[in-house]
């Protein structure tokens, strides 16, 4: 049937529908999201722009199951995922999403290679890790090479530059082959040139591996490098600006 075909093609990979969320501030409930909606097709690179405090991180955390909405739904391939039991939710989060953050959040005691291996180590029991250690190491080496850090494997995060730390964080986010990368101000702590290198890497991953990316930023010129930019304002996604792929 043509109709169901159309429906199927149109189903976004991920969507957040009418998301509301408020935080308690003393006796007050402060609304942050008030019916925000956003969806991404597979392979899209979307940027969400908004001022500091507009709820960008909150929206990203809700979409990636790091936080729950007060109202609204998150759908993956058309199936609701925000209301799953905690174990199923954790499992899904670890398989579907990769996250990167402004301040990298690498573990300081581990080498770069160990940081990149960590998500795969966490996924296995100790025995499972031991059995699969070669493949795990191989996967980490491969993705570390893809982000251009093969020469830094044994370095601790404190021995890396900001750009190298973010490349390492990207490798860690992608080592378990997530479908969706959620990026929270990934260039926010980097100088313009280093930030441009990170944006080139994200664009390459999106183009070559069809990685779906949702990136939040307060920087217009960074946002403009996605396929499509939406604006978060007053708790809602406002206008939709279509742009040519950079
Ligand atoms: P952005 O990422 O756009 O800067 P956030 O989503 O981090 O915005 O925060 C939006 C608003 O919600 C801010 O006013 C912030 O102080 C508040 N907020 C965020 N997280 C919490 C929290 N865990 N508890 C209370 N207030 C929070
Ligand atoms: Mg934020």
**Tens-digit pLDDT string for the chain (246 aa):** 444 444 456 899 999 999 999 999 999 999 999 999 999 999 999 999 999 999 999 999 999 999 999 999 999 999 999 999 999 999 999 999 999 999 999 999 999 999 999 999 888 777 888 888 999 999 999 999 999 999 999 999 999 999 999 999 999 999 999 999 999 999 999 999 999 999 999 999 999 999 999 999 999 999 999 999 999 999 999 865 544 433
Residues near ligand 1 (Cβ within 6 A): 23, 32, 50, 52-58
> Exposed/middle/buried for 29, CB within 10 Å: 0-12, 13-18, 19+?
exposed
- Kindly report the protein residue whose alpha carbon is nearest to atom 11 of ligand 1: 53
Give the whole-angstrom CA distance, residue 27 versus residue 177.
43
Any residues with CB less than 8 A from the CB of 161 and at least 6 apart, and which? 194
pTM, to two decimals: 0.92
Q: How far is the CA of 71 from the centre of ligand 1 (A)?
A: 17
- Pocket of ligand 1, candidates 32, 34, 59, 64: which has the most ligand atoms within 8 Å of its Cβ, to mutate? 32
Q: How far is the CA of 117 from the centre of ligand 2 (A)?
A: 26
- Pocket of ligand 1, candidates 22, 23, 231: which has the most ligand atoms within 8 Å of its Cβ, to mutate? 23
- The number of the ligand 1 atom at minimal distance from the alpha carbon of 61 is 6
Beta bridge partners of 100: 183
Backbone angles phi, psi at 136, to 5 degrees: -65, -45
The whole-number pLDDT of residue 127 equals 81
- The number of the ligand 1 atom at minimal distance from the alpha carbon of 52 is 4
- Pocket of ligand 1, candidates 36, 57, 70: which has the most ligand atoms within 8 Å of its Cβ, to mutate? 57
Give the whole-angstrom CA distance, residue 59 versus residue 53.
11
């Amino acid at each position: 049937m043509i109709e169901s075909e159309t429906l199927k093609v149109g189903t976004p990979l991920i969507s957040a529908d009418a998301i509301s969320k408020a935080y308690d501030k003393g006796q007050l409930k402060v609304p942050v999201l008030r019916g925000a909606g956003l969806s991404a097709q597979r392979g899209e690179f979307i940027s969400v722009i908004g001022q500091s405090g507009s709820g960008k991180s909150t929206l990203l955390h809700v979409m990636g199951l790091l936080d729950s909405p007060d109202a609204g739904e998150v759908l993956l391939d058309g199936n609701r995922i925000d209301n799953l039991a905690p174990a199923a939710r954790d499992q899904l989060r670890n398989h579907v999403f990769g996250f990167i953050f402004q301040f990298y959040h690498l573990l300081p005691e581990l080498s770069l290679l160990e940081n990149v291996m960590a998500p795969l180590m966490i996924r296995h029991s100790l025995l499972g890790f031991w059995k699969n250690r070669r493949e795990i190491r191989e996967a980490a080496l491969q993705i570390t090479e893809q982000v251009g850090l093969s020469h830094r494997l044994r370095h601790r995060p404190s021995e890396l530059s900001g750009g190298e730390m973010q490349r390492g964080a990207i490798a860690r986010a992608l080592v378990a082959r997530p479908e969706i990368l959620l990026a929270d101000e990934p260039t926010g702590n980097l100088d313009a040139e280093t930030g441009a290198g990170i944006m080139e890497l994200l664009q390459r991953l999106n183009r070559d591996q069809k990685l779906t990316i949702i990136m939040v930023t307060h920087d217009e010129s960074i946002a403009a490098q996605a396929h499509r930019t939406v604006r978060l304002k007053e708790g809602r996604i406002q206008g939709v600006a279509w742009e040519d792929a950079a």
